[in-house]
Amino acid sequence: MLREVDLALDPVEEAQALESAADERYETRAALGEGGMGEVLLCHDRRMGRDVAMKVVHRSRADGADLRARFLREARVQGRLEHPAIVPVYDLAQDASGRTFFTMKRVRGETLEVVIARLAAGQQGAQAQYTQHKLLAAYARVCLAIDFAHARGVVHRDLKPANVMLGDFGEVYVLDWGVAKVGPGDETDDDDEPAPDESGERPIACSGDARTAAGVVLGTPAYMPPEQLRGQRVDARTDVYALGAILYEMLTLSSFHDRRTGTPMGLDDAEAEANIPPELDAIWRKATEASPAARYASARELHDAVEGYLSGDRDLSARRALVQTHLEAARALRAVRPKTLATRSRALAEVGRAIALDPNDVEALRILVELLSEPPEVAPREVVEQLEHADAQSRAVGLKKAILLYALPALMFLLPGAYVMHVKSAGYVALCLAAFFLASAAAALSYRFPKITRHVPWVTVASSIAIACASVLCGVYVFLPTLVVGNTICHAVTGRRQHRPMIIGLGVLAMLVPVTLELMGVGPNSHAFVDGALVLRSSIFDLREESTPIFLLLANIGMLVFSVRYVGHYRNALAHAELRHLSQLWQLRQLVPERARAATSEPPRAA
């Protein structure tokens, strides 16, 4: 048991102990940090040939007797606590200017405060470097170090993430023992003569004792238990409370101070707290109970609880109860009407937490499969954007094909037709060729500048005009309907949904305009009724008996093949997407044990 008498020096002893000034021994190289009492310097110990950390009293406060006494007390407390997780003190002396200093091992690494900040910011590599298991293992060693101090009558009183250092090679250190309480007594430590201990020795105050005056609170309020904030008696359970607050911040990566003061938690903080394993959730809650009697009685008990979790111990009944809580929340969210993306997302999150607690829970897996199998009533914005991107790519492929498909028929049918059959009107031939080349040019421009078709399907407009001009080939009742139907279907399949009424209207106009013009007597008449027979006339060619049937047959076959291949390409894409969807459903159903698969919805079977 460490006692105040072990730390005390009378003025003569103190002068003798500190008379060996060490300016020649230590070479100052850099500043490492600064605190309320002093600053920490990186120094080189010439005698030992090693780097050390030197803590020295601030120059501005070097003459303060109380501060100097507290500084000496910190050095002796830390020096007497010989534990691997407590930085060892090497030397205690004065420099040439009379400032008191002590040297200690130089530790390398990051404070837990910095580690938590890196993890919270999602810094690259932080998650791999500091896994939850590693942090909990380090935390358990901190608990043992604090229990070691408690066993020697020392209460730290200022535990926080900034005072825990994680070394580069697995070391863990508890820093800053400047406000530690030593031996029996209340927070004021104002008993002039504490009662003798078991050995009969009466602790005495050290020279210029700087123990806290009545009503003054030492430490960091964010991590203080209620009794410490009120200036009441503190003991080992005071440090247990601070350790519980540190555990909370490690698990949630959010501020414990905000939680205890009632600051509304953001969605991320609430989700992080909900995702804490139930065993660890119970541990930090018990450690931070407002009543000291309700907390763990010692840091050792807190260590054992965390170590039990790391060893694989699980409170199965608590886990089952928590699983049911999450599943009930998921069912309630599924029953909400109307279903929104927010409620669906929350339901999936609740099921995910249930599965994280019990990966083999049949009901949780069944609900997960059902949720993933049922498409949302309103598509998420991200899905809509992906679908629009896929549609744009599909339209681009169609436009590339259309550039050739509108130019080739003109070359393959009009020019051969002009060669096989006598041309009546070169002007009409030129008109048809120009119209189809215009449609091809519209496809090329739409492919190069896709934004121009956002509001008007210009390719459909141009192709409908070209097809209407083709009525001069064989009239409005023979070849024209085939062209109109094929063209309209292809554009309806590949075009934007909002353009479909316009596409249908353009197809109808491609039929009506040539018929109307003939009925009005504008342009050549392509048909006549003679003795009960329908006689067709071509304004471009002489319809010869030996060549006309072959021309019409080839033209219709070409249109048939073109339409089927064009639409078939999109039907294949649809079938592929459906296959992927059903395959994903099948894989999801494999998550559920076979005996429970009947409860999930089966994909539709082919008739």
Q: Where are the alpha helices (DSSP H) in 152-235?
A: 226-229
Residues forming beta bridges with residue 603, ordered by sequence position: none
In the chain, what is the straight-line distance between the N-terminal and C-terminal CA atoms, in Å?
85
> Which candidate in 45, 91, 147, 158 is catalytic?
158
Bin 208: left if φ > 0, else alpha if -120 < ψ < 50, else beta. left
Is 147 in the active site? no
Q: Spell out where 168-263 has E strands.
A: 172-174, 181-182
Strand pairing category for 50-57 and 38-45 = antiparallel
As a whole number of angstroms, the distance between CA 308 and CA 161 comes to 23
* Angle of the 480-494 helix axis to the 458-469 helix axis, nearest 10: 170
H or E stretch including 347? helix 341-357
Burial of 83 (0-12, 13-18, 19+ CB in 10 A): middle
Contact present, 288 and 248 (Cβ < 8 Å): yes
Q: Which amino acid is present at 239?
A: D
Q: Spell out where 58-170 has E strands.
A: 89-94, 100-105, 109-111, 154-155, 164-167
As a whole number of angstroms, the distance between CA 549 and CA 411 comes to 19
Name, in order, each residue with C-beta under 8 angstroms of 187's C-beta and a sequence gap of 6 or more: 181, 212, 217, 228, 231, 232, 233, 234
The b-or-e profile of 333-352 (16+ CB within 10 A means b, else e) is bbeeeebeeebbebbbbbbe
Residues with a catalytic annotation lie at 158
